[in-house]
Every structure is written in C-alpha cells, then in structure tokens.
A and B are shown apart, each in its own frame.
Chain A
Amino acid sequence: MQTEFAFFPGCVLTQAAKESKMALEAVAPKLGITLKEIPGWSCCGASQAQDVDPVATLVANARNLALAEKMGLPVLTSCSTCLLMLRRAKAELDGGKKDRINTFLAKGNMSYAGTSEVTSLLWVLAQNAQMLKSKVVRPLAGLKVAAFYGCHSLRPEHALGFESAVNPSSFETVVAALGAQTVPFTKRLDCCGFHAVYPAEKSVMRMTGQIVDSAAASGATCLVTPCPLCQMQLDIYQEAAQDISSSKARMPVLHLSQLVGLALGVPAKALGLDYNVVDATKVA
C-alpha cells in the first residue's frame, strides 16, 4: 500500500471547509499514511477558471503535478473537483500537450514528466478496506449512512477511471469497513449543484433540498460525502433550501474524513465537528 502522498488540499480546505483538513490530518497517521502538502500548490481552477482560460488552468495544473513529481510522490486530494481537474489536466498532458506546456513551465524552471498519479482519499480507503477495518476501534454499528458520492468522484467515468459511474461501490465498501450501514436513497448519484449556486440559485436549492429529503426518507442518520464542495452545499445551504420547500427534514452532513475519524476513535473536536453547520455532534 502506498503510504506517502503529495497532498493537494484544494482551496476550500484552507478555510470554508477547514474541518475536512483537520479530520484528514487526524486520521492519516492512524492509517499509517503520511501526507506531505505540496509546497506552493495553486488553485486547480475548480472548473470555473477553466471557462475563462483553459490554457492558463492547464499550465497551473501542470505546475501542480510537476511540484508533486519533484517530491517523488503520487498526489492525494480529498476534494472531488480538484481530483477531476488534476486528472483531466494529466490526461491532456499525457495525451500530447506535454511538450508544448513544458515550454511554458520552463519559464519557471519546471517540467512535467508524467510520473505522478492522482488519487483521492475515498479511492485509497476503498482499495485498502481490509487495512481500514483493522484500524477501526469504534465500529459505527447502528449508524445509517446516506453515502453521497458527488458528481466529480464519479463522472465522467473515462476521466476518473476508477469505477462504474452508474453502479459504483467504493463508498459502500468504505462505510462497511467502518462498521456502519449504507442506506440506499434515490439521490445517491445526483448533483448537489454547488458549482452553479450563484447563477442558478433556485434550481440548486431545489437540488440540495431533494438530496436531503431523499436521505431523510431512506432513514439515514447522516449524509456523508467525500467532496468538501458537496459537504458545503448540503450543509451550509441546507437550512435555506429546506425553508424554500418547507421541508422539515434536517440531516447532518459529514466529510468522509470525519466519519473515518469517528470510527478510528478520534475525538469529535479534533475532527472539527463543531464547524459543521447542521449539528453533527450527535453523530459522534
């Protein structure tokens, strides 16, 4: 098992979703994983800057990957959009743009070689479920989890190259290893709408509300998601979304790293559960 990673936190882990980083840094040592943050990593573009200037974002991500290559380590990120952006950049570079982009990287004395793979926390855990299970000190028996994948951990399938986008199982595998139970819910593979909350606010609120309602209707105790953007959307905007539709359903939304931390015996405070907007402390 790969135990050392070049860690790419992504922008929201530094502030608005800092509890995700807290939890990740708490669970990593317990899993025997060393996360070395990439020095000077830049925003991945978040699929937003890509609209404005796809060349600049490709250069930026080539630089991010080159920085990881310098460390001689594969990249691990726990933000799904960063995962997709980095993987797509890598595919573009490996697919023929490498030489051209390297002429630009050269201006900063850097070079992309193509030696660093990009993976995510969810994938690493799913690939090492037995190891994960062996580290569980507090099996989350009785906890009913609505495992919400979020778009960019699944689609497009050919860009992510990990599992079926219509019938994935990585998340269920991980939750089972933690001793908890996943409950099927209709919105499991749908979109939270985070990326369009400004221009398409009403639609996104409806999408958010439907996911929360769906999880509640299936009897889940909490929603869990591997992507901090989904977590932010479903958590921070939950009240507003449910008020619009007059729905009474409320559901704590945990980061994957927080759920893992609970099972590994990390105290709730260290996992940043206080920072979750919809009260998540009762899940602890």
Chain B
Amino acid sequence: MATIIIDRFDGKNRFEQSYKLDAADVAGKTVLNTLLFIKQTQDPTLNFTASCRCAICGACAVRVNGHAVLACDTKMDDLIQTYGSDTFRIAPLANFKVISDLVVDWEPAMENLRKIHPGMVAKSEFSMKEGCRQNQKDFDRIIKQWDCILCGACASECNKLSADNRDYMEPFVFTHAWRAANDSRSKDPLLHGKPAVAGGLWNCVHCQECANRCPKGISAADDIAGLRGMVMAKGMTEGVGPAHAKSFYTDLVEDSGRLNEVRLALRTEGISTIARAGMAVTLLRQGKMNPLEAFGGETIEGHDALVKMIQAAHAAEKE
C-alpha cells in the first residue's frame, strides 16, 4: 500500500490530502503516472501540469519529500528504494507562488529570464541573410546548457532564493545568460553578463542544489562560476563578490599558496571591514585569528613550482 500525501491549495486554503494506492498501482510507474492515476480514479479536483510526459517540455516538476524531481522522469520504484518507504509527500515547487495544488506561477521567472536578454545578438560580421559561422567545438561547448527545459527544479531547491528572492534570480536564468554570453557567435557577452550581475550573480551561496536536482545534468552553479569569471575578465571587478573571489586567487598564486583569512577580510571589504571589528575581537579572544597574518603567512613548500605550472597553463590557454 503506497500513501501519497499531497500539499494542496484550492485558491483560498492550504491543506494536505492523503491518497492510498495499491502497491501494484505504483510498481513500474512514474510519479506522473501516479498523479494521473489519483486524478482519474480518486480525485479529479487534484491539479498539476503535464504535457510531453517524456522529459523534454519541463511541465511536470514537483517536489517529492522536499526535493524537486521531474514527475514524468522519476520512477516510484526508485523513490521507494531511495527513501526506504512507500509513503511520500508531494508538494509544488518551492520558490514559486502556488496557484493551485501542484501548479505554480511562472510569470516572475519569465520576467527574470527577460532581464538577461536570452536571445543572443550576433557579431556584426554575420547577417540575417547569410547566417553565421561556428565550428563544431564551439557548438559542443555550449550545447549542454541548451538542454535546459525550464522545469524549475533548480529554482525550487535554491537555498539563496529561499532565503531572499529579491536580490537573486532562478539558477536557470544564469544558465541562459551563460549560454548566450559564451556563444562564439555572440557580439556582446556583457549584454547578458551585466544584467546577471545586477540580478544577483555574486549572491549564489554555492549550495549545489541546482547542480544536484537538474534532470538534464546541467550545473547552473558551474554556469554562475563561469559567468563570474567572464564578467571579471571584462572589467566588472567592483564589489564585494569579485574582491572576495580574487582574494583566494591572489593568496593561491601570488602569495603564500594558502588562504590568509585576515587579508581576506581586508581585501573583500576594504576599510569598511572595520564594521566587523566586533567579530574580529571575538575571533582574537577565541584564539581563532592571528593578526600578524596581515603581514602575510608562511609560503608553502614548492610554491615556486606551482607558480611555474600555472604560468605554463596560462601561456597554453593563450594559444
């Protein structure tokens, strides 16, 4: 006997509703099959969206036991094995406004997508009449990010979006910005990069939920990292985010080879790190900080060799 508990919303009230199914009714079936089965045999008022049922349209993402999945692409048997139980809680995607039951509002996410100008603008050497030129390698480089089916699973689990969505965007938005910016045919990567920064590119907390939940295996986290590198390389180096990242790099390559926490604070926030004076006192008191590190830590053994290796890598990249 499988028990499906669904978090429901009828437009006014939220409530949970439990449905019981025979084990035979879920054996070999997907989550979508199960939802359809419940709707068609037990409760026609249950609402959810589905379209292609073969993992290409992105319509049926829901949360099972708090984690987003694509319903048509998820087997009940696999879930039973993962959780060691045949009782499941199904809920709508998190971080979206719920319209009804498992149906969520996509308008704000579409507006975020609009902000980063998802359509690529081609270089001037190309034209509508002649099309573009691109080599297969450049196609291969971006095509994974074109697997995105806008299912919303990444957005559902995003820890930053849950904490505060006002200064952030759905992870897939950054993936779309990345793919347009990194297309070899693209005239102006910052057309997508700038609004990505304005939309919170540096606020990602690195929780890796997006990379873990994506049914297509896309890592929005990696795309965010890639975008960050690109905008910095193009001169957008102002702000706490870039300064923080660069501090680690500087320590690794130019300084001791290991993180210097005292310098990290100074480099990231500059003089305004003085506001953290209270924190510094705490750390000093607890013996967790050595202020002498402000003058630089001990260089690691073999650092020269490391620097040579990195220089060789840089030289090779230029070719």
A and B touch in the complex (CB under 8 A): yes
- How many chain A residues sit at the interface, stated as a range, is 35 or more
**Number of B residues contacting the other chain (C-beta, 8 Å)?**
72
Residues of B within 8 A of A193 (CB): 159, 163, 205
Q: Say whether B229 contacts A43, CB under 8 Å.
A: no
Interface residues of B in 223-243 (CB under 8 A from A): 225-226, 228-229, 232, 239-241
Closest to A200 in B: B203
A103 sits at the interface (CB 8 A): yes
Partner-B contacts on A (CB < 8 A): 11-12, 14-18, 39-43, 45-57, 59-60, 63, 84, 100-101, 103-105, 107-110, 151-152, 154-159, 164-167, 190-191, 193-196, 198-200, 202-204, 206-207, 236-237, 240, 274-277
Residue in B159, B205, B316 whose beta carbon sits within 8 Å of that of A103 in the complex: B316
Q: Say whether A60 contacts B248, CB under 8 Å.
A: no
Q: Say whether A52 contacts B316, CB under 8 Å.
A: no
Given contacts A45-B252, A200-B160, contact A104 B313 (CB under 8 A): yes
Residue in A110, A152, A156 whose beta carbon sits within 8 Å of that of B219 in the complex: A156
Q: Say whether B232 contacts A40, CB under 8 Å.
A: no
Given contacts A60-B306, A155-B211, contact A207 B248 (CB under 8 A): no
Q: Say whether A56 contacts B258, CB under 8 Å.
A: no
Residue in B167, B206, B314 whose beta carbon sits within 8 Å of that of A151 in the complex: B206
Given contacts A51-B225, A105-B309, A107-B309, contact A195 B206 (CB under 8 A): yes
**What CA separation (Å) do A100 and B226 show in the bound complex?**
21
**What CA separation (Å) do A156 and B48 show in the bound complex?**
28
Q: Say whether A52 contacts B229, CB under 8 Å.
A: yes
Q: Say whether B211 contacts A108, CB under 8 Å.
A: no
Residue in B203, B228, B249 whose beta carbon sits within 8 Å of that of A203 in the complex: B203
3 closest A-B pairs by beta carbon, nearest first, are A108-B305, A40-B301, A191-B207
Residues of A within 8 A of B200 (CB): 200
Q: Say whether A43 contacts B306, CB under 8 Å.
A: no
Residues of B within 8 A of A236 (CB): 279, 282-283, 288
Interface residues of B in 167-208 (CB under 8 A from A): 167-168, 200, 202-208
With A207-B163, A236-B288 given, name 16 new contacts (CB 8 A). Answer: A12-B261, A49-B252, A52-B245, A54-B226, A104-B309, A104-B310, A104-B312, A158-B217, A159-B211, A191-B207, A196-B203, A196-B206, A199-B203, A200-B164, A200-B167, A200-B203
Residues of A within 8 A of B288 (CB): 15-18, 236, 275, 277
Q: Say whether B300 contacts A196, CB under 8 Å.
A: no
Interface residues of B in 249-281 (CB under 8 A from A): 249, 251-253, 257-259, 261, 268-269, 279
**Nearest Cβ in chain B — how far from A61, in angstroms?**
10
Between A and B, 27 residue pairs with Cβ closer than 8 Å are A14-B258, A15-B289, A39-B301, A46-B259, A56-B253, A56-B314, A59-B310, A60-B252, A103-B316, A108-B309, A110-B309, A152-B206, A154-B212, A155-B211, A159-B211, A164-B82, A166-B66, A166-B82, A191-B159, A195-B206, A198-B244, A202-B164, A204-B205, A206-B163, A207-B159, A207-B205, A276-B286
